[in-house]
């Protein structure tokens, strides 16, 4: 597959998000970036998600796969993506206007870090009914790595590798740890780029499972740094 140096590839994994995915897609198109592709990887949805995505007017490539988890869906999106610049947006989150323009400006000017990331504002669903749920701001904007508030040079994934599909949660934390170990630098931008939307069906609502996966990811990183044990 031929890669384009100007193209931004937005990878969106989706699973049963018929009520929220259209707003996420609209926030991408609203960036008004000419060289753009949106790779939607449907991880086996059983609701009307496919119909919503296919009806959307935009530069979308829809890919369906049997349910394999978000890491596998992101990896499939990476395989399908044709752009030099890679970014991710979860199907229940939205970008703020100007996010892509700002990210590309920082990526292509000194210090030319291969990753840039802005802030994320957490918003919580305040209205569970209706066609378009309402959200309200929850906390001050976060400045920690979240895939949806980051843009990557494709070379990052050539150096670090793909997401670990064996991890059902915290695959991003595992990837960030591997990138740091390999010296891949990231530049922080003091702008809010992402609305991270919290609602009843977030995977992270399963606190014990999420905590366990974070602990496992941290342990993996520590084990790599310690190196192989001598017998």
- The tens digit of pLDDT for each residue in 107-122 reads 999 999 999 999 999 8
- The tens digit of pLDDT for each residue in 54-81 reads 999 899 999 999 999 999 999 999 999 9
| Domains in the chain, CATH or no CATH each | 4-225 (3.90.550.10)
Q: What is the mean pLDDT of each run of 10 residues along the chain (231 residues)?
A: 80 96 97 96 98 95 96 97 97 96 96 95 68 53 83 97 90 93 95 85 55 61 63 41
**Measured CA angle at 76 (ends 70, 77), to 5 deg:** 90
Query: Tell me, what's the pLDDT at 222?
Result: 63
Query: Tell me, what's the pLDDT at 148?
Result: 96
Query: Tell me, what's the pLDDT at 169?
Result: 79
This prediction has a pTM of: 0.84
Which residues touch 46 (CB under 8 Å, ≥6 apart)? 16
Q: What is the dihedral angle through the alpha carbons of 174, 201, 53, 45, rounded to the nearest 10 degrees?
A: 80
Query: Tell me, what's the pLDDT at 182?
Result: 96
Which residues touch 149 (CB under 8 Å, ≥6 apart)? 117, 118, 119, 120, 193, 194, 196
Smallest Cα–Cα separation from 80: which of 15, 170, 13, 159?
13
């Amino acid at each position: 597959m031929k890669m384009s140096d100007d193209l931004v590839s937005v990878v969106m994994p989706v699973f049963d998000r018929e009520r929220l995915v259209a707003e996420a897609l609209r926030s991408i198109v609203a960036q008004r970036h000419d060289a753009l592709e949106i790779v939607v990887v449907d991880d086996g949805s059983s609701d009307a998600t496919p119909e919503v995505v296919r009806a959307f007017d935009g530069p979308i490539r829809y890919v369906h796969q049997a349910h394999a988890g978000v890491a596998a869906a992101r990896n499939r999106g990476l395989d399908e993506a044709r752009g030099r610049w890679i970014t991710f947006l979860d199907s229940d989150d939205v970008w703020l206007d100007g996010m892509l323009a700002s990210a590309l400006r920082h990526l292509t000017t000194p210090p030319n870090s291969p990753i840039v990331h802005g802030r994320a504002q957490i918003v919580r669903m305040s209205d569970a009914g209706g066609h378009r749920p309402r959200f309200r701001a929850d906390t001050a904007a976060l400045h920690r790595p979240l895939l949806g508030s980051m843009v990557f040079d494709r070379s990052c994934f050539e150096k670090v590798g793909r997401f670990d599909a064996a991890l059902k949660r915290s695959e991003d934390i595992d990837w960030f740890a591997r990138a740091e170990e390999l010296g891949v630098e990231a530049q922080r931008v003091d702008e809010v780029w992402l609305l991270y939307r919290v609602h009843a069906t977030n995977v992270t609502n399963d606190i014990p499972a999420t905590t366990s996966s974070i602990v496992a990811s941290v342990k993996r990183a520590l084990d790599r740094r310690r190196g192989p044990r001598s017998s």
